[in-house]
Structure 1
């Protein structure tokens, strides 16, 4: 069973999406300096696309993200600590997640989305890597038996 099978079942899906959105907001709030300001401005622009846009996008991409994370998560389960394994392999984890978002942005017709993403893509891996420990904990919260 893959992560998306367990994490997106009807009883957990809304909570997982909500927690992912809160995690993103928390990561954003922790950013400072010019790059933090750029990220916050870009996020505000994306939120302005339409009400609920961020949670809609999170809901749409989570299955692909969880599928992309399955191999490294499963390795971590086999080694006994998937949270630590994702965190230790944050570069691989970030690449897997960014592969999903890169593919999605290529298909979007919304210029504001594509333009914003392309402007920030160069620094995205660093920010995603920083978020991996929080994401690993979030996943673990919903995969505990």
Structure 2
């Protein structure tokens, strides 16, 4: 079985980045409350500096996220008891979210836009819930390109 990183960062990387960026933008636009406003504000500020910040970020972090999600992908593929990778991710949300946040936290220090870094720091505690709410969609995007 090919690892998730090789699959997602290989020949179809551009399509993966495009779909993942669209998924993230859609997810962010649907956020509400104070945390949603803060995240939308940070994304807006980042877009002023670079309109393609989301897709560039996805492209840069895709190998790390794929590595982090690979054990979950392997378990899903070996188990076969779920109707889709999104369902698997939702069922294992604690471990999956921890894997995603570990990558995000490692990279938070290298954010070169102070406004974005400040927002990340201020909303970090709320990200678990936000990520959990979007695991089904994340799994669908990954499975579209990895299956």
Q: TM-score, normalised by structure 2?
A: 0.89
Can you list the C-alpha shifts for 1:44-67, whole angstroms capped at 9, x where unaligned?
A: 122223231221111000100010
Name the residue aligned to 1:92: 95
> Higher mean Cα deviation, 89-98 or 47-56?
47-56
Contact 2:43–2:116, Cα closer than 8 Å, also in 1? no
Structure 1 residue ranges (4+ consecutive) displaced by more than 6 angstroms after TM superposition: none
Contact 1:4–1:63, Cα closer than 8 Å, also in 2? yes
Name the residue aligned to 1:46: 46
Higher relative contact order at CA 8 Å, sep ≥6: structure 1 or structure 2? 2
Deviation at 1:109, TM superposition (A): 4.1
Contact 2:89–2:96, Cα closer than 8 Å, also in 1? yes
Note closer, same or farther for the CA distance 1:35–1:96 as it changes in structure 2 (3 Å cut): same
Contact 1:4–1:66, Cα closer than 8 Å, also in 2? yes
Write the distance in 2 (CA, Å) between the matches of 1:137 and 1:100. Answer: 20
Paired residues in the alignment total 143
Match of 2:135 among 114, 124, 132: 132
Write the distance in 2 (CA, Å) between the matches of 1:8 and 1:69. Answer: 13
CA RMSD of aligned residues (A): 1.5
Deviation at 1:32, TM superposition (A): 2.1
Note closer, same or farther for the CA distance 1:113–1:42 as it changes in structure 2 (3 Å cut): closer
Write the distance in 2 (CA, Å) between the matches of 1:35 and 1:119. Answer: 9
Q: Which runs of 5+ in 2 are unaligned?
A: none
Contact 2:39–2:119, Cα closer than 8 Å, also in 1? no
Can you list the C-alpha shifts for 1:97-145, whole angstroms capped at 9, x where unaligned?
A: 111111011233432332121111111111111111101011111122x
Write the distance in 1 (CA, Å) between the matches of 2:90 and 2:47. Answer: 28
Name the residue aligned to 1:122: 125
Counterpart mapping for 1:1-145 below 5 A: 1-10=2-11, 12-80=12-80, 81=82, 83=85, 84-144=87-147
